[in-house]
Amino acid sequence: MDIFLHHSYNLDLLNLLNIVAGDSQYQKRYPQIYAEFGQPLSQEAREVLDQVTSALGSPLISAPIAFVLSIIPQFDKAPLIDLMLDQEGFLVALEQYEPRLLPQKDQLFLLFQVLAPVIQEIELLGFREYWLSELLPVIEDRLYEMEASFYRLNFIQDINNLFNNENLPEEIHIFLCALNAQHGVRITRHSSIVDVSFTDLKIFDFTLQEPFQSAVIGLGISALLHPLVDDPFLQLAYEKSKSVTGFETIESYIQENVVEACKVYLLYKNGYLPDPYGYLQSHLQGAFVLALVLVDYLEWNPGGNLSLIANLKTWMDQKPAGKMMTLYRQAMERAGREIGDI
């Protein structure tokens, strides 16, 4: 797997719709931009935005549109209005990449047609020039910092080694935007949109979630760890965390613990997360107790450089089911942390 970082005028132009459509959170965060590009909008454009937000049930217009447009190759580079009015190209992309959306093709294309004049009006107000002069330099500086960081640390290689290059996507794409109001948005093909203000930790935590979930499922780890479903400590942790995590079964809870362990271990190993045990102890009210045990095992096990599946097989050979409370306490003591209530 490889990681590619991008900027995209198109995506920030879509984000601008959230600001001018009247979302108070966006307007409060970007008052100058609203004054320059929202207040001058025509009454016709405002009516269109009202209709769209009403139809979507939310003033956050950009996320669903960005997801659908990201199906189209070169969605981040081709002129946005051309993309939105190219019905034939949109249909081809749907058929090839997201056939499940074909029943909604007419409604989606109608949405694009309705919004295209609003986007054109915004561009006539000079948003492209503003983005190039005021926003792009900030994004490019952040991209450079991130690229220098994860290439210097061999972060990508560590990801591939842990999963033994199995069941990972060939590449993921991260789009840094200046007007995302501290939101993360997942788009197609394991790609995501993040806000330029995010820390490296927050960016990677968000963007690696989906690829790691797919990899863990593909490796059959749930079946390997199935004996753990009868562990009393894990059962208690699962029951107590239901209201926070929303997992419907203990199997899904265990699977997500493995995903979280992979993220936390790799982020810790590469210096993005200084205190993995403190993080897991507090994140979602300490729900991921198995993840904490697995991070401890990956850190201290002499075979820690092996792949995830090899490590887990070795760990399961030690018959941890029924011993999880002891293993959790040992991990916390090794980390020098208070155990607290479980």
Strands 171-177 and 191-195: parallel
The answer on pLDDT for 342 being more than 70 is: no
Asked which of 109-113, 263-267, 300-304 is least confident by mean pLDDT, the reply is 300-304
- For the stretch 207-250, pLDDT in tens is 999 999 999 999 999 999 999 999 999 999 999 999 999 999 99
Closest CA to 332 of 283, 278, 282: 278
Closest CA to 90 of 71, 115, 110, 113: 71
What is the Cα–Cα distance from 253 to 225, expressed in whole angstroms?
Answer: 11
pLDDT on residue 331 = 96
**How high is the mean pLDDT of the chain?**
94
Band (pLDDT 50/70/90 cuts) for residue 340 is low
Band (pLDDT 50/70/90 cuts) for residue 111 is very high
Report CA torsion sign: 257, 262, 265, 271: negative
What is the Cα–Cα distance from 196 to 189, expressed in whole angstroms?
Answer: 21
What mean pLDDT comes out for the span 138-159? 91
State whether residue 332 is helix, strand or coil. helix
Closest CA to 26 of 15, 11, 37, 12: 15
pLDDT on residue 305 = 72
- For the stretch 193-212, pLDDT in tens is 999 999 999 999 999 999 99
Share of the chain above pLDDT 90, in %: 87
- For the stretch 38-71, pLDDT in tens is 999 999 999 999 999 999 988 889 999 999 999 9
What is the Cα–Cα distance from 83 to 90, expressed in whole angstroms?
Answer: 8
pLDDT on residue 292 = 97
